[in-house]
Amino acid sequence: METILTVEGLGKSFKERQIVKDISFNVKRGEIMAVLGPNGAGKSTTIRSIMGILYPDEGIVKFHQCEAGEIPRNKIGYLPEERGLYKNVKVMDMILYLAELKDYPIKKAKERALHYLAKLGLEGKEKVSVEELSKGMAQKVQFIGSIIHEPELLILDEPFSGLDPVSQEVFKSEIKELAQSGTAILLSSHQMNMVEEICDRLFMIHRGQRVIEGTMIDVKNEYANFKCTIRGENEAAVLERLSHVSRVEQKGDVSIVYLNQEVVVPQWLKQLPETLSIQELSIDRISLHEIFIDIATDRHIIKEESASHA
């Protein structure tokens, strides 16, 4: 796939404090790439440097067919975390204004706006003022504004914020569809379940530096061992003595048994003692949410367990 965005050796400091250091990644056409990290990790600084809102102290940002540092704003769509629609402007006027800023044909923009308003459940709202919309509806309008000009690169910062579960599913489906049509998408979100479902690759930052990079499959293979959740009154010591168990966590009558990489799940289940109290049992892989918490809180338990059994 063609590379649309290249970030190489990005560095930025404020008042002698380095916010990001040696950040490098790329985003390819038709790919959904997640940039993750806890608050203060450097995600926003990275995104703003890509957008040209900030100028990095080190490194380059390059778009395909453009010189390094040249930002073709009409080819980029941006949905910022901070919402910025004019409240007293009608929905259609707002969308067309955003299209005009990108030098996009107004007639075509209106056709696309009507299409997306209907698709996102806002049919008939084109003459309604933005201030009359709910938070979720306004989010949809701003999303339409970020894609109205058919960008080659779409940057989404917390796109699911303020949306109800139904609207989140609509957004998720639309983001996937945009990627399938060839749009390169850079997405930042704290909703790890959404990231895990739709992203092809991820780049995680902690304290301004890269800590994880790779496809979702690569990250799962490296970090996401199996875990077994058992509901029932059981002693942790009994579970810890089972083969391939790295640790056990208990909350009330729920035991979470973390397994190492060598485990063969069907065989492991067969060796469970008949004396165990099992009201419910489930096995799944460690989630991206758990990996995120492990790194963001500097526990590094998951990584150490994976490394010790590699």
Domains of the chain and CATH, by start: 3-220 (3.40.50.300), 225-285 (3.30.70)
| pLDDT of the residue at 72 | 85
| pLDDT of the residue at 304 | 57
Mean pLDDT value across residues 225-250: 94
- Higher-confidence residue of 205 and 310: namely 205
Please state the φ and ψ torsions of residue 21, each to the nearest 5 degrees.
-140, 120
pTM: 0.84
Mean pLDDT value across residues 32-50: 91
Mean pLDDT (the chain, rounded): 90
43-86 pLDDT per residue, tens: 989 999 998 888 899 999 999 878 777 778 899 999 988 877 88
One-letter-per-residue 3-state SS of the chain: CCEEEEEEEEEEEECCEEEEEEEEEEEECCCEEEEECCCCCCHHHHHHHHHCCCCCCEEEEEECCCCCCCCCHHHEEEECCCCCCCCCCEHHHHHHHHHHHCCCCHHHHHHHHHHHHHHCCCCCCCCCEHHHCCHHHHHHHHHHHHHCCCCCEEEEECCCCCCCHHHHHHHHHHHHHHHHCCCEEEEECCCHHHHHHHCCEEEEEECCEEEEEEEHHHHHHHHCCEEEEEECCCCHHHHHCCCCEEEEEEECCEEEEEECCCCCHHHHHHCCCCCCCCCEEEEEECCHHHHHHHHHCCCCHHHHHHHHCC
- Model confidence at 287, in pLDDT bands (50, 70, 90)? confident
84-103 pLDDT per residue, tens: 788 899 999 999 999 999 99
Between CA 59 and CA 7 the distance in angstroms is: 8
| pLDDT of the residue at 262 | 86
Between CA 16 and CA 19 the distance in angstroms is: 9
Mean pLDDT value across residues 128-150: 94
| pLDDT of the residue at 310 | 46
Between CA 114 and CA 172 the distance in angstroms is: 20
Mean pLDDT value across residues 23-43: 93
| pLDDT of the residue at 307 | 53
Instruction: Judge whether residue 306 has pLDDT over 70.
Output: no
- Percent with pLDDT over 70 in the chain: 96
